[in-house]
Amino acid sequence: MLQKRIIDIETEAKQALTIIKTLPQLEEWEVTYLGRKSALNEILKNLKNLTTEEKRIVGPLGNAVKQRLFQSLATAREAFMEQSIDWDAQAIDVTAPGVFCRDGHLHPITRLTYEIEDIFSSLGFSLADGPEVESEWYNFDALNVPADHPARDMQDTFWLASSESKQKTRNKKQERYLLRTQTSAVQVRYMETHKPPFRIIIPGRIFRNEATDVSHEHTFHQFECLMVDEPGKVSVATFKYIAETFFSSFFGKKVNVRLRPSFFPFTEPSFEFDISCVLCGASGCPVCKQSGWLEIGGAGMVHQKVFEAAGYKRGQYQGFAWGFGLTRLAMMKYKITDIRLLMSGDLRFIRQF
Ligand code: FA5
């Protein structure tokens, strides 16, 4: 009796399918014949009330009919989809002009950073890094710049509001935080966890609370170089050689380096260093103000107090450090006349590189 009912359901469902004209009608058909409350589903749900003998016949038959109805539904749905596609509208016009898609590219500062890293890595230097939000200790104290020393005013600082932390510094005063004013802040961080000999470069973004003009930014990039070894193995001459090799490779022509006496609390002796003007070949031009030299950065032999702050013994090691403004170097390389353009985010400017 149930067998006949199932076969009748299948016959009725297939007949109903032949007169369906739209997709909503097909959905209705699905609910009627295959839905949760459909007659076929009711029969299958109540199988448990049948005798074992009946179950053996009704179960497989009910499931087979269900499968066949699902198959019919899929075929009908596919036919409806085919009909609903407007093939003419889908045709591709191969003569239509393409949509222009502009390529992205690296920012000139990023490109220069990679270029400089490549040159230094060919000279055996490895890369080091540090946080932009730095403690007063690494940015100043560890670099031999005491709190009340006028040298701290050489670099105007962005202090972090409520930067008084619960942590005490090594000299027992409250630790304060700032936006690092120089990549030199990474020196002691690195030395605390590494033993000489080593040679590293530290590229990075730094911040100074100063008024901006064509050659001064509040946010710019520096490049630091630190080489430390036993006494007698690293000297000012080593620095000069590395600097000349680097700048010659960077500018693709022979560049000379000149040192002038200067003062940095973390180096002794300290220098400002210039390179021979790459624009006029040191013969004198408006860019080098007819001097034949371009000011590049600061340098010196690492002060023994800096080594001590890192946990090395006084006199145990010797090394040089130098740092230069990467942003100013980019200006020279690409002949950019206003430093503020580089961080302006103005795509008309950036797209020229
Ligand atoms: C320093 O920052 C030292 N940390 C450099 C150093 C490293 C000395 C290791 C000794 C040993 P200074 O403040 O002079 O030094 O800055 C270095 C370079 O950053 C400058 O020569 C200049 O090229 C660049 N610079 C400084 N201020 C600005 C600014 N406001 N905008 C753009 N570039 C700047």
pLDDT tens by residue, 281-339: 888 887 788 899 989 999 999 999 999 999 999 999 999 999 999 998 898 888 888 89
pLDDT at 198: 98
Closest protein CA for atom 21 of ligand 1: 297
Q: In this predicted model, which residue has the larger pLDDT, 81 or 194? A: 194
**Is the pLDDT reported for residue 29 higher than 50?**
yes
272 Cα to the center of ligand 1, angstroms = 10
List all residues 6 or more positions away from 306 whose beta carbon is below 8 Å from its beta carbon. 142, 143, 144, 187, 188, 191, 266
Alpha carbon nearest to ligand 1 atom 10, residue: 299
Q: From the CB of 210, is ligand 1 less than 6 Å away?
A: yes
* Protein residue closest via CA to atom 15 of ligand 1: 298
The answer to whether 288 touches 277, Cβ cutoff 8 Å, is yes
Which pLDDT score, from 0 to 100, does residue 261 have? 97
Q: Is the beta carbon of 33 within 6 A of some atom in ligand 1?
A: no
Do the strands 133-135 and 177-179 form a parallel or antiparallel pair, or are they unpaired?
Answer: antiparallel
Q: What is the mean pLDDT of residues 142-157?
A: 78
Distance CA 329, CA 186 (A): 21
- In short, whether 325's Cβ falls inside 6 Å of ligand 1 is yes
Rounded average pLDDT over 72-94: 82
Q: How many CA atoms lie within 13 A of 255 on its CB side?
A: 26
- Residues with Cβ within 8 Å of 177's Cβ and at least 6 positions away in sequence, in order, are 133, 134, 135, 136, 159, 160, 163, 165
Q: To which H or E segment does residue 41 belong? A: helix 39-45
| Residue ranges with strand state E in the chain | 126-127, 133-135, 177-179, 198-207, 219-229, 257-264, 267-276, 293-302, 318-325
Q: Is 275 in the pocket of ligand 1 (CB under 6 A)?
A: no
Percent of the residues in the chain that have a pLDDT greater than 90, as a whole number:
64
Atom from ligand 1 closest to the CA of residue 210: 30
pLDDT of residue 289: 84
User: Does 171 have pLDDT greater than 60?
Assistant: no
- Tell me, in angstroms, the distance from the centre of ligand 1 to residue 280's CA: 24
The answer to whether residue 174 scores a pLDDT higher than 70 is no
Asked, as a colleague might, if the bond just before 265 is cis with ω within 30 of 0, I would say no
Rounded Cα distance between 225 and 183, Å, is 9
Name the residue with the closest Cα to ligand 1, atom 22.
Answer: 325
CATH domain 108-350 topology: BirA Bifunctional Protein; domain 2 (3.30.930)
184 lines ligand 1 (CB under 6 A): yes
pLDDT, tens digit (0-9, with 9 covering 90-100), for 178-187: 999 999 999 9
Angle formed at CA 212 by CA 279 and CA 150, multiple of 5 degrees: 100
Domain extent listing, the chain: 2-90, 108-350
Query: Which of 143, 144, 155, 182 for mutating ligand 1's site (highest number of atoms within 8 Å of CB)?
Result: 182
Q: The tokens of 51 are what?
A: 């005798």
> How far is Cα 297 from Cα 286, in angstroms, rounded to an integer?
20
More reliable by pLDDT, 324 or 154 = 324
| 132 and 207 Cβ atoms separated by less than 8 Å | yes
Confidence at residue 166, expressed as pLDDT on a 0 to 100 scale? 47
| Ligand 1 atom closest to Cα of residue 225 | 9
Residue holding tokens 């295959």?
Answer: 34
d(CA 53, CA 56): 5
pTM for this model (two decimals): 0.72
